[in-house]
Amino acid sequence: EADIYQTPRYLVIGTGKKITLECSQTMGHDKMYWYQQDPGMELHLIHYSYGVNSTEKGDLSSESTVSRIRTEHFPLTLESARPSHTSQYLCASSGRTIGNSPLHFGNGTRLTVT
């Protein structure tokens, strides 16, 4: 049973469109993360948040933006989608430290930009 929800699961969209990938969690976690996952590659952190109104860029440069207005909600937005944005996007959340509590992942959004 998932405690962290991502929508949509699959999205095919044309170049230049604005899109928002939704992520919500019901565990009350302060920390939330967005990862980009491509086949045969390590997960790359693109954004994270340690609480409401707090957002930071991860180690992989991304043209996307995020917001954290509510604890449970961490949407990711692409203002103008391009084919290079085609990838799987995974949202995750955690408790105070990953040493003491695991990362919980959503099932991902597979984005294809044509």
DSSP 19-82: EEEEEEESS--SEEEEEEE-TTS--EEEEEEEETTEEEE-SS--S-EE--SBTTB--EEESS--
Site string for another protein, 62-101 (x = CB under 8 A): ----------------------------x-x-x--xxxx-
State which residue, 27 or 98, has the beta carbon closest to another protein. 98
Report the alpha-carbon distance of residue 80 to residue 103 in Å, rounded.
30
Cβ at position 50, least distance to another protein in Å: 7
Instruction: Kindly list the residues in this chain that would bind another protein in the complex (CB under 8 A).
Output: 4, 9, 31, 33, 40-43, 45, 48, 50, 56, 58-59, 90, 92, 94, 97-100, 102-103, 105-108
